[in-house]
Amino acid sequence: MAYDAIVVGAGCSGAVAARCLAQAGRRVLVVEKRPQIGGNVFDGPDENGVLVHWYGPHIFHTSSQRVWDYVQQFASWHPYAHRVLGRIDGRLVPIPFNLDSLEALYPAAEARAVEGKLRERFPGRRTASVLDLMHDPDAQVQKFGEFVFQKVFLHYTAKQWGTPVDQVDRSVINRVPVELGRDGRYFQDTYQAMPDGGFTPLFQRILDHPGIHLRLNCDARDLLRLESGKIYAEGAEFSGPVIYTGPVDELFGYAYGPLPYRSLDLRFQQLEQDQFQPAAVVNYPNEEDFTRITEFKQLTGQALPGRTTILREYPLAYDPLGERGNIPYYVISNPQNLDLYGKYAALAAAYPGLRLCGRLAEYRYYNMDAAILRALELTQGLLAGQQERSCQ
């Protein structure tokens, strides 16, 4: 093959890794099994003319200066402060739960008392974990923590993960802290923005390099064969690096059984009205079977009078062969699954040319910025290693 490197997958991780290698002078083949690039961040106009995110709502946010500088090269960005409301006891209140949420749901005097206690217990702190609040030595703080847990987290988490909440890793719940002030933004990162024109053009520009050859509708399983520590591409031994961003269990023929994932049934609805709801995302922790409704125009800032598109997310079990739920969206991080992942990682380690990169290959939750950083670091390490070897 006339390539120096192969990248499997053209999502965040694969696109950035390929670009990095190409910029270092490598000829890179990128294979993507879907008919389009961008992985789960793929977006585009629907029949309604609304720019939608086909695999669920994506907002770019990062506190990494390096990642922020990196993405500036490939798109112009507009600032976007993501705000989420949650429907609790018939009211729409800010999520993360903050002091405004508290005042909307508590009697005024009680709300003031809780605020005073929070200031006393967490001086100078901006956020606290709901799990910590629930176990606070102060009875009033504890009661407040339990209230938030019951109203915001308990049922949402059970729906989202399909298991009782005590089986869900703390880190998942702590992704959404309790806000001890009045910051109504969903994320606390330094940079929060959306790319003008959408994410797909961003990935097009990242992949647009003379050193990159992209093959869509190409499943790596039809191209690559792994055998006794050697990688074969189209039948011939391939000695360059292979950066793999697909599911690692699939790569090894599910030798130890499938890695569990949670999936989503995404139901889009097109409406003939300007606006559907008062925020880009409204969470439904309690009453409904779905977890949240996204209204894309509010997310992207697209101006399109008279029409809007919304998305309801219904979590469900991952079933690779199912009509619904056949996309592995969320890794289920628990000790048993991480153990299983460890076995696949050990199989991968027997192939010196193979690098696992990204949320499916590494079986871990990456936000876009973390996926980009990981891909940059991995490829830079790889290039540095090769230079070392070629110098010796």
Tokens 């923590």 identify what position? 145
Based on CB atoms, which residue is closest to ligand UDP, 165 or 345?
A: 165
Q: How far apart are the first and last CA of the chain?
A: 26
Report the distance separating Cα 91 and Cα 104, nearest Å. 8
Residues 129-168 that bind ligand UDP (CB under 6 A): 152-153, 156-157, 160
285 is a site residue for ligand UDP (CB under 6 A): yes
Based on CB atoms, which residue is closest to ligand UDP, 36 or 150?
A: 150
173 is a site residue for ligand UDP (CB under 6 A): yes
Based on CB atoms, which residue is closest to ligand UDP, 172 or 327?
A: 172
Number of residues engaging ligand FAD in binding (CB under 6 A)? 32
Number of residues engaging ligand UDP in binding (CB under 6 A)? 13
CB of 244 to ligand FAD, least distance (A): 8
Based on CB atoms, which residue is closest to ligand FAD, 234 or 274?
A: 234
Instruction: Locate the DSSP E strands across 136-241.
Output: 178-179, 191-195, 212-215, 224-227, 230-233, 236-237
- Contact by Cβ (8 Å): 272, 47: no
Q: How many residues does the chain have?
A: 392
Based on CB atoms, which residue is closest to ligand FAD, 16 or 102?
A: 16
Based on CB atoms, which residue is closest to ligand UDP, 132 or 138?
A: 132
Give the CA angle between residues 199, 50, 305 to the nearest 5°: 130
Based on CB atoms, which residue is closest to ligand UDP, 101 or 245?
A: 101
Amino acid at 59: I
Q: Where are the alpha helices (DSSP H) in 224-334?
A: 248-251, 296-300
Report the distance separating Cα 282 and Cα 295, nearest Å. 9
176 is a site residue for ligand UDP (CB under 6 A): yes
261 is a site residue for ligand UDP (CB under 6 A): no
What is the chain's Cα-based Rg? 23
246 is a site residue for ligand FAD (CB under 6 A): yes
Report the distance separating Cα 273 and Cα 279, nearest Å. 15
Report the distance separating Cα 73 and Cα 66, nearest Å. 12
Collapse the DSSP code of 339 into the 3-class scheme (helix H, G, I; strand E, B; otherwise coil) and give the result.
Answer: helix
Q: What is the distance, to the nearest Å, from the Cα of residue 268 to the centroid of all Cα atoms in its chain?
A: 19
Residues 6+ away with beta carbon under 8 Å from 283: 84, 85, 86, 87, 95, 152, 156, 291, 292
178 is a site residue for ligand FAD (CB under 6 A): no
379 is a site residue for ligand FAD (CB under 6 A): no
| Residue 329 interface partner, choices ligand FAD, ligand UDP, none, CB cut-off 5-8 Å depending on type | ligand FAD
User: What is the helix, strand, coil percentage profile of the chain, to 5?
Assistant: 35, 25, 40
| Residue 194 interface partner, choices ligand UDP, ligand FAD, none, CB cut-off 5-8 Å depending on type | none
192 is a site residue for ligand FAD (CB under 6 A): no
175 is a site residue for ligand UDP (CB under 6 A): yes
- Contact by Cβ (8 Å): 244, 11: no
Tokens 């980009």 identify what position? 372
Q: Which stretch binds ligand FAD (CB under 6 A): 27-35, 198-206, 281-289, 316-324?
A: 27-35
CB of 310 to ligand UDP, least distance (A): 16
Residues 6+ away with beta carbon under 8 Å from 286: 87, 88, 151, 155, 156
- Contact by Cβ (8 Å): 371, 64: no
| Residue 9 interface partner, choices ligand FAD, ligand UDP, none, CB cut-off 5-8 Å depending on type | ligand FAD
Based on CB atoms, which residue is closest to ligand UDP, 243 or 279?
A: 279
Q: Which stretch binds ligand UDP (CB under 6 A): 32-40, 119-127, 171-179, 243-251?
A: 171-179
Residues lying near ligand UDP in the complex (CB under 6 A): 86, 95, 152-153, 156-157, 160, 172-173, 175-176, 283, 285
Binding residues (CB under 6 A) for ligand FAD: these are: 8-14, 31-34, 39-41, 56, 58-59, 219-221, 245-246, 329-330, 358-360, 366-369, 371
